[in-house]
Amino acid sequence: MVKEIKRFILRVKFFLRHPVKSLRYFFSYEKDYSKIPFSLISKYIQDSRLIVEAGAADGVDTMNFSLEYPNSRVVALEPVNEQFRYLKKKFADFKNVEVYNLALSNYSGIAQMYLGKSDGHLGGLGSSSLLPPDQHSRYFPQIEFSEIQQVKTVTLEELLMTESQVDLLWLDIQGKELEVLSCSKETFRLKVKVLHLEISRVPLYVGMPSEKEVRQFLEGAGFKCVEDRIGAIAGNALYINHRFFPQES
């Protein structure tokens, strides 16, 4: 009961600060409020050559990228071993999809991954993170973190060392977004055209940055938010790089 009351209070506060977004979210103005449609994303990456997805999980978004942009290379990173093996098999016949057993981080090496599980199965709605869970169970009690796995990590700078441009960087890395981007800021600023990332209003993981910190960093790096689907707890946002879209300034 206490958890339900806290969730209700959080939603009331969100409604008072963002009444229009709240109405769209609570009354199902869209089937999934937090999901940014490809029709909007395609406005900025019509002729994609390279898409990098970090945190591929079950490969649903990976599949969409492959089908929506058949002439683009889709580089999908998935650090959890079981999910990586599943993705390798799933995309074995997709010539434009490359799957790597890696996690984006602020250093290249080995790290601990806290595995999110739902109903006894790995995945946990994509909740596995390099950060230990904080208030995650308060908002998503169906997901448990009872296992840790050693995973390989790579920085964005190292990953993109031989690439000249990334048309879309898709981050679903559960609280590590700011660390990943700030440690490779120059690479991010010079090479990434469009950024899709998840942002949280509450500390779901230990040490994750606030929403304000993430937004301030992105604005300072020359990125502009063109779509905000962040609800009371978390959601997605789409940013474009002023360097590639000077007319949007």
Q: What is 43-77 written as a DSSP string?
A: TT-TT-SEEEEE--TTSHHHHHHHHH-TTSEEEEE
**pLDDT confidence tier of residue 36, bands split at 50, 70 and 90:** very high
139 found inside a domain: no
Question: In this structure, which amino acid lies at residue 242?
Answer: H
12 found inside a domain: no
148 found inside a domain: no
Calculate the alpha carbon distances from 242 to 190, 199, 201, 230, 245 in Å: 10, 20, 25, 22, 5
- In the numeric block, which tokens belong to residue 75? 């580089």
| pLDDT reported for residue 8 | 54
20 found inside a domain: no
> How many structural domains does the chain have?
1
pLDDT tens for each residue of 190-206:
999 999 999 999 999 99
65 found inside a domain: yes
Find the CATH number of the domain harbouring 201: 3.40.50.150
Calculate the alpha carbon distances from 171 to 89, 104, 129, 156, 176 in Å: 22, 9, 12, 11, 9
- Whether residue 183 contacts residue 155, with contact meaning beta carbons closer than 8 Å, is answered with yes
Please tell me the least confidently modeled range out of 63-67, 116-120, 145-149.
Answer: 116-120
**pLDDT confidence tier of residue 9, bands split at 50, 70 and 90:** low
Q: In angstroms, what is the C-alpha Rg of the chain?
A: 18
Which helix (H) or strand (E) segment holds residue 118: the answer is strand 109-118
**pLDDT confidence tier of residue 232, bands split at 50, 70 and 90:** confident
Residues 23, 245: Cα–Cα separation, whole Å: 31
The whole domain housing 205 covers 34-101+160-248
Residues 213, 175: Cα–Cα separation, whole Å: 12
95 found inside a domain: yes
Residues sharing a CB contact under 8 Å with residue 128, sequence separation 6 or more, in sequence order = 79, 80, 113, 114, 115, 116, 122, 174
126 found inside a domain: no
Q: Concatenated DSSP letters for 92-104?
A: TT-TTEEEES-EE
CA angle in degrees (0–180, nearest 5) for 215-51-127: 60
| pLDDT reported for residue 247 | 86
pLDDT tens for each residue of 51-93:
999 999 999 999 999 999 999 999 999 999 999 999 999 999 9
Residues 126, 56: Cα–Cα separation, whole Å: 8
130 found inside a domain: no
**Above 90 in pLDDT, residue 32?**
no
> At how many degrees (to 10) do helices 19-26 and 2-17 cross?
130
